[in-house]
A and B are shown apart, each in its own frame.
Chain A
Amino acid sequence: MAASTASTAVSSLCRKSHNLKGFQILNQVCTRMTYSTALSVKTGHSKKGFELGIRGPPSRRPKREGGEPRTEKMAEDQDWSSVYPTAAPFKYSAVPLPVRMGYPVKRGVPPDKRGNLELIKIPNFLHLTPAAIKKHCEALKTFCTDWPQALDSDDKCEEFFPIRVQSSDYVSAGTSLRNPKARVVTLTVKLSSLNLDEHARKKLIKLVGERYSKETDMLTLTTDRCPLRKQNYDYAMYLLTVLYHESWKTEVWENEKTRADMEEYSWEESRSQRNALDTLMRMRGGEGGGVDTGVVRADLLGSAEVQQYRDSVSRIKNEGESESSMLQYRDAVKKLLNLSPCDE
């Protein structure tokens, strides 16, 4: 009876071993069967329950015992990049570190690495040890080129390559690889590096409007109207070309430029000049009359006080009001009107 149950148990074991993938397991089962049949019967039954016998659920496979973890067999000077050549989840049996991770429940310790989901969830960099990075970079060095020696400072870069073109790439996980912000191209150039004369410079600044920054003398063109980055880059270069050539042209209607269109304040032929000269003429006119007014005006214009007054007024109008410019204006007016300087 024992023999018959043993044989049927062994045969059922044999049937199951066909389902198992792996030749070794089949071998193991056979060796177990060869050497100690009695033992195998016992192990087979202990899992299912002796009273059930062979009528236990056939889907339950006998549980294999795992061997010792790979960490026990690792040498200390092994090549780690062959254990983790690429990004792989954390395998506790393959990482010989006593890592603990997790919340210490009831004032205990963080859980062990065996069966620790937290260690599997977090991205690990086990495939990117410094040795592995050095190996990768050695292989990548053949695809790299050197920076030219002559361009070691920013000034030299500015001198030979005045135009800067900025563009962005985006990498993220999602349903699509593409990012619509990747087509934007920004072109910046200093106007001093372009071949422009005074009229062309002023006309270009008027044409671009807000895209020019006076403090840094930079023109910034941002293009995103085309769907591809290359198209936007070509469009930006085209815009720069057109602006440049158009600013050198002088149209017929440009000679109707009024005082309100001027970029800078100029003192000649302005109200300030007229007022100053009239005041001075009246001051002088009291002293001696009958002199030709044109000559007097020319003399006055050439005098040092009037020059100083002109400089101070131009400075205030162009640069704005500040402490030093107001003081300069005060001194110039005092000198002009011959007021005695009060010592403070």
Chain B
Amino acid sequence: MAVSACFARTLRALSVTLRVSPQVARQLNAGSSYRSGRLPCLTPSACVHTGIIHCTNTPNITVTDEPDALYQTVDVLVKGHDRAVLDSYEFFATLAAQELGIPVRKVSEPKKKIERMTLLKSVHIFKKHRVQYEMRTHYRCIQLAHVTGSTAQAYLEYVQRNLPEGVAMEVTKTELVKIPEHILKPMWDIPPLEEQPSQ
């Protein structure tokens, strides 16, 4: 209950910072009683609430006439230094997708990348003595198919809010768009021209 209120309060504000698709079919207006000065500041890093929210009325969901966006695929690629953390995160993301009714097409693990560097061990001279470091980046790709815009917005915000520390995410969305009306027919009056033979 507290979680839903937290979402309700900051969903619209975060949609700008998280760069989610602007076509929102469902906007929500939290009750005006929540807009007090005691609310945490609206940046994603500071949004872990510590207080108890006393909410009695549920947020109002408005449905607009704007058509919902349709995404053929939503690819969520997570990158991290620890494979165990990514395993747990994958379990969380797939379970969340199943609960929300989003079909998970594929969960793959692209090959890890190791960046190695060889540096001088000492601040001054001693060229023969070096030290080697490496940075390992593990990947996990979760592909969701046939997601609507508002579902994608809710799911992605939920999943991004619970991203553990030290893990980065890239989301690639493939949206389905109709051919706009001005491309259906040419705007010039084309006289019926016969096919010219190759000359």
Contacts and interface: CB of A to CB of B under 8 A. Distances in A.
A25 B169 CA distance: 47
Given A136-B3, A195-B185, A168 B72 contact: no
Interface string B36-71: 000000011000110000000000010000001010
Contact of A168 (B28, B156, B172): B172
Contact of A140 (B100, B149, B188, B190): B100
B49 to A, nearest CB: 7
B85 interface: yes
Interface stretch (A29-37, A55-63, A70-78, A247-255): A247-255
Contact of B183 (A139, A165, A240, A269): A240
A1 interface: no
B150 interface: yes
Given A145-B25, A259-B198, A182 B19 contact: yes
A163 B180 CA distance: 10
A122 B154 contact: no
Contacts of A257: 199
Interface stretch (A108-116, A126-134, A317-325, A326-334): A126-134
Contact of B198 (A154, A237, A240, A268): A268
Interface string B165-196: 11111111111111110111111101001011
Nearest to B190: A248
A146 B150 CA distance: 9
A154 B145 CA distance: 10
Given A130-B95, A151-B70, A245-B186, A144 B150 contact: yes
The DSSP consensus for interface residues of chain B is mixed
Interface in B151-171: 151, 153-156, 158, 160, 162-171
B197 interface: yes
A269 B198 contact: yes
B190 A133 contact: no
Contacts of B18: 169, 171
Given A145-B26, A167-B173, A194 B179 contact: yes
Given A134-B99, A144-B150, A168-B172, 19 more contacts: A87-B48, A123-B165, A140-B100, A144-B151, A145-B68, A161-B177, A164-B72, A166-B173, A166-B174, A166-B175, A167-B172, A168-B171, A169-B171, A170-B169, A171-B170, A193-B179, A245-B187, A262-B198, A269-B197
* Pairs of residues from A and B, 7 with the lowest C-beta to C-beta distance, nearest first: A139-B4, A123-B164, A137-B99, A161-B176, A248-B186, A172-B168, A144-B151
Interface of B: 1-4, 7, 11, 17-20, 22, 25-26, 28, 43-44, 48-49, 61, 68, 70, 72, 82, 84-85, 88-89, 92, 95-96, 99-101, 146-151, 153-156, 158, 160, 162-180, 182-188, 190, 193, 195-199
